[in-house]
Amino acid sequence: MPDPTIAKLHDWLRAHEDELLKDTIQVLQIDSIESEAQPNAPYGEGNRKVLDFVLKRAQDFGMAATDLEGHIGYAEFGQGEKLIMTLGHLDVVPVGPGWKHAPFGAAIDNGYLYARGSTDDKGPTMAAFYAMRAIKECVPDIPARMRAVFGCDEESGFCCVERYMKTEEPPTYGVAPDSGWPLYHAEKGIADFLITAEMPKGDFEVLKVEGGQRPNIVIDSCRARVRVSSAARAEVEEKVAGYWDKNVACRWNADVLEVEATGKAAHGANPYVGDNAAGRIFRLFNEVAPFQVQAQFEELLKMCQTSGAGIGIDGRDDVAGELTCNVGIVSFPNTSTPQHPNTVQLLCNIRYPVTWKGAEMAERCRAFLSKLKLKCSMAVERDSSPLYFPLDHPLVKAVCEVYEEETGEKRTPGTMGGGTYARAIPNCVSIGTCWEGDGQAHETDERIAIQSLFRASRIYAHLFYRLATMD
């Protein structure tokens, strides 16, 4: 027999769908890409504005609202020893070109809500917030403290949750609505390797290569300029004239070849879904440059392989599968270390198997690079250890049971290369947000079906109630 409390939660949420949609649209219309820090706004004005909005709504709903200096905030109600938590993030990645709908317009088109953050992670965060609100309204004597946490730095480094853990307690059970259904019980390790390589010189002199917005986004646009000597001009010009890649545009400006490549943006956890424009640039260089430097350009091209083979770290394990590598930012000349101006920098975002150790992978990379024709070095910019919950863990089992009860569908917990708040907060897993047909995180024209938003809110409410009441 269906649980009458769950039915009550569902009925309340259905009655407040218009309100959930209206609040979600307002949140999506706020540009919360990280920007210059301001007083009490460590991640910029947009993140401060969106955090203020949700905390004000929490107060409107009769919840206690706490603001941790603009890093992160939370809304809370209920009493008891247990702390049940949902952790979503309000910051978003940059938008890039080519959008059909305004990235912060929150337009509704054919049942879908289009905006940066609609799937990652403002839409699911608001659905979870309303699920918490439903519990407050329908189960006022819930035997646990219920907390909705709103972070502002998930996409740029997790400093917000680091601030949270300095003064706040971890949850008894926590979920981050930021992955796939029913949950991901393992998240690959995430590392950023900054590779610095000496650019080849000679008759084909690269003057500039620039592309990328963030390490965790596949480069969708890249530009380059190359000075070609008179001795090599005829050979290079002939090769360029017959070059096959229609996504690479070339034009001559006196003795300088100007190049622009177009790719396809995608989440850095799944770089094979996108198309790296920097790789297209290096492929052009490899094919049209004089043969004396082709081998070096081939090495740069190989570094863009999504398997990591080009930097010597490809591999897999039986839990989370293959390593992935995304060259997310390419920069030449090197302005960060003026003493080495003739070096190109490639910032690689790596998602590595859960049974691996980041330090060992870094040593493999350095050993591999030392054998290349290019003179290279590598620095570890970041290394976030993997997350792994066994399938028989009570939290994993609860999420799976609720999802099956809600949908009638039995799904096996997944693993992913993406990183969520779950890896930074104890006793927390990442759970699903969207279904087939909804858009992908970090892509152009990100979208979520309005019915997916409503459906997720009902599943979240059921799950939060289950976690609060189970032994």
Q: What is the DSSP letter of 393?
A: S
CA angle 211/213/214 to nearest 5° reads 120
Q: What is the DSSP string of 27-78?
A: HHTS--B----BTTBTT-HHHHHHHHHHHHHHHHTT-EEEEETTTEEEEEE-
pLDDT at residue 1 is higher than 60:
no
pLDDT in tens, 175-217: 999 999 999 999 999 999 999 999 998 999 999 999 999 999 9
Question: Cβ(128)–Cβ(147) under 8 Å?
Answer: no
pLDDT in tens, 138-176: 999 999 999 999 999 999 889 999 999 999 999 999 999
User: Helices in 176-318 by DSSP H: which ranges?
Assistant: 230-241, 277-288, 291-302
- Residue 338's pLDDT band (cuts 50, 70, 90): low
Residue 124, classified by CB atoms within 10 Å of its CB into exposed (0-12), middle (13-18) or buried (19+), is buried
The whole-number pLDDT of residue 442 equals 87
pLDDT in tens, 421-461: 999 999 999 999 999 999 888 899 999 999 999 999 999 99
Q: Which of 156-160, 356-360, 370-374, 433-437 has the lowest mean pLDDT?
A: 156-160
Which domains are present in the chain? 4-188+387-469 (3.40.630.10), 190-383 (3.30.70.360)
- DSSP three-state, residue 458: helix
Stretch 279-286: mean pLDDT: 98
The C-alpha atoms of residue 77 and residue 362 are separated, in whole angstroms, by: 45
Question: Cβ(449)–Cβ(208) under 8 Å?
Answer: no
